[in-house]
Structure 1
Amino acid sequence: MIAKTIAIFLLAVSASAERDETCPGIKSRNNWGARTPTTVTYQTFPVPNVIIHHTVTPVCTTFRSCATQAKSIQRYHQTSKKWPDIAYNFLVGNDGNVYEGVGWHKVGTHMSGYNKNSIGIAFIGDFNDKLPSRAAMKAAKDLIQCGVQLGEISVDYDLYAARQLQSTESPGLTLYAEIQDWDNWKATPNK
């Protein structure tokens, strides 16, 4: 019994060490000063879809400027849109950090018809004419892999741009072209 307990502990430590290498540094809601959501809806996981957005706001390159942008986006979503929280599960800044939106296993409001079966990742900025920083793109890819390892995202997930699923320019023309080369890109949406 003790040997079995030790083996389970060692497996957990090993998995945790792997996660630490793959998972990007996620800035929690407390780190960036998020407001309290008005409601929280939980989703069944793992989710089969990852949807990439951009926020069409100024690009941020430091923790302070990205936290300010995240707070501004959340305030807009809660006040003007009357949504319960920031729309996205996660946001990615050009500083290479991931900012927790609604987070794992919670339903966002980023894509009508897909919210309950997807993780929405938004790059902070406007990426019609330029790409996010290399650090930001690496952080987003690492976040997706982290989600797979944690069992939040299906191993055989489909990756989409928001513009494939509704009438929007998101995630911007240049970023849209880039993500078509990412793992699990799906040219035609399943519904």
Structure 2
Amino acid sequence: MIKLLLPLLLAPVLAYAQAGDEKDLVFAGQSYPLTLDVKAKSDGQVTYAGRFSELPGKDYDVVLLQGLMPEPDMRLDLLGKGRSFFAADVEYRQTGFRRFPNGRFWARYKAPSLTRQPVKILVTDLGLKNNQSLVIYATELLTEGDLREREAPAEVSTAAYVPEPDLFVPAAAPFKLHRRAEWKANPPKEAYTRHAPFFFTLHHTQAHYPKTFDDAVIEMQFIQDFHQNGRGWNDIAYHFLIDPAGNVFEGRPINVLGSHVKNRNTGNVGISIMGNYHAPAHDKFTQLTQDSFVAVGRYVKDTYTVNISSFYAHRELGKTDCPGDDLYAKMSLLRGLVYAPQLPQPVEVPAQPVQLPPGPQAESLRQLLYYLETR
């Protein structure tokens, strides 16, 4: 019983970050993913100016966005609403930006001080040739202190960190795993913290839905860069990620602390499905993805003796709609498949040749065997 309650009681100081549901800025009449129609105008002109968001429900001094920017010839700016009717709106300073060749981007902005003021999105034309649609998958309102994974920074070593081999899923795992080296993962920013898994959690990335293996590899690289450099975390948040073709990618080593559920990371293995499984996106949860998730789930369950009551959806552990309504509706099915009794595989015993005795009885036995085999 204690083991079953631990996921709900633990709140380790080293594991308070989360990933998977970021919709802090609410814009009237719009739902995520936000699609901004950007018109090609003269270079340097503001081509999109949205309305201010609704009043945020918490203090912030950092705004973090991520989405899809098809062309690089535009600039994304944020304004904070003036604190009074007579006060001017405040331009937030961009403190980080990265756009990948496939258009995936993240951007981080700093407000002058802690605030709860609404936010407006502006887009400036930097030489667009055609009209574009800028997609924003997620927005987060944070404080400067949130941009790290630990309460206090670890001491920085000048020696290259090489994780111990026993932190990783072994080569004999019963599913194909695309290792970190294959998708060209960056090393962690500091040494990993070990943990002993005893439960696991289903997520969705709430973002890009890869169409090819190469696209999924770039998405892995983007997510890691966003988590490490956008959010300031040690590494990619999840332990496994699965694309629509059923490819399973290795995130953090399974035996180290992840960063995917707020205050619920110790002992928790994070498995995230690439795509957005919440209205209005409704990405398709393919049979290949389901089969791969079940294989990974069974491995975690069998290797670490995880009870069925210790397999969660993210929303069951925190205030979030992750893994989306569409995936959450499949939780009963997935629990049943992961925990279904597995029949033992039949063992083939090679047939042994019949040794016939010497003498006159041999011919009679040959005729009898022929008769039995041809009936």
TM > 0.5 between the two? yes
CA contact (8 A) 1:78 1:84 kept: yes
Q: Is the 8 A contact 1:78 1:86 kept in 2?
A: yes
Indicate yes or no: 2:289 matched with 1:139: no
Using the size of structure 1 for normalisation, the TM-score is 0.78
C-alpha separation in 2, matches of 1:164 and 1:146: 22
1:102 corresponds to 2:252: yes
The higher-RCO structure (CA 8 Å, 6+ apart) is 1
* TM-score with structure 2 setting the length: 0.41
Q: Which has the larger radius of gyration?
A: 2
What's the CA shift for 1:166? 1.3
What's the CA shift string for 1:118-158, capped at 9, x where partnerless? 10000011011244211011101101112234x2x324251
Inter-CA distance 43–184: structure 2 relative to 1 (3 Å threshold): farther
Q: Deviations over 1:103-124 (max 9, x none)?
A: 2111110012221121000001
Pick one of 187, 197, 206 that aligns with 1:56.
Answer: 206
The 5-angstrom pairing of residues 84-163 of structure 1 reads 84-128=234-278, 129-149=282-302, 151=303, 153-157=304-308, 158-163=310-315
Q: 2:184 aligned with 1:33, yes or no?
A: yes
Residue of structure 2 equivalent to 1:43? 195
Quick one: which amino acid aligns to residue 77 of structure 1?
H
Q: Which runs of 5 or more residues in structure 2 are unaligned? A: 1-169, 338-375
SS in structure 2 at match of 1:120: strand
Q: CA deviation at 1:184?
A: 6.7
Number of equivalences: 162
Given that 1:159 and 1:184 are in contact with CA atoms closer than 8 Å, whether structure 2 keeps it comes out as no
Shift of 1:56: 1.2
Q: Distance in 2 between matches of 1:24 and 1:96?
A: 11
Give deviations 1:31-73, integer Å, cap 9, x for gaps: 11111111211112xx221111111111113221111111101
Distance (whole Å) between structure 1 residues aligned to residue 273 and residue 328 of structure 2: 12
Q: 2:221 is matched by which residue type in structure 1?
A: K
Unaligned runs of 5+ in 1: 1-15, 186-191
Q: Provide the rounded CA distance (Å) in 2 between the counterparts of 1:180 and 1:76.
A: 32
RMSD: 1.9
Aligned letter for 1:35?
N
Structure 2 residue aligned with 1:170: 322
Q: Is the 1:161–1:171 Cα contact (8 Å) retained in structure 2? A: yes
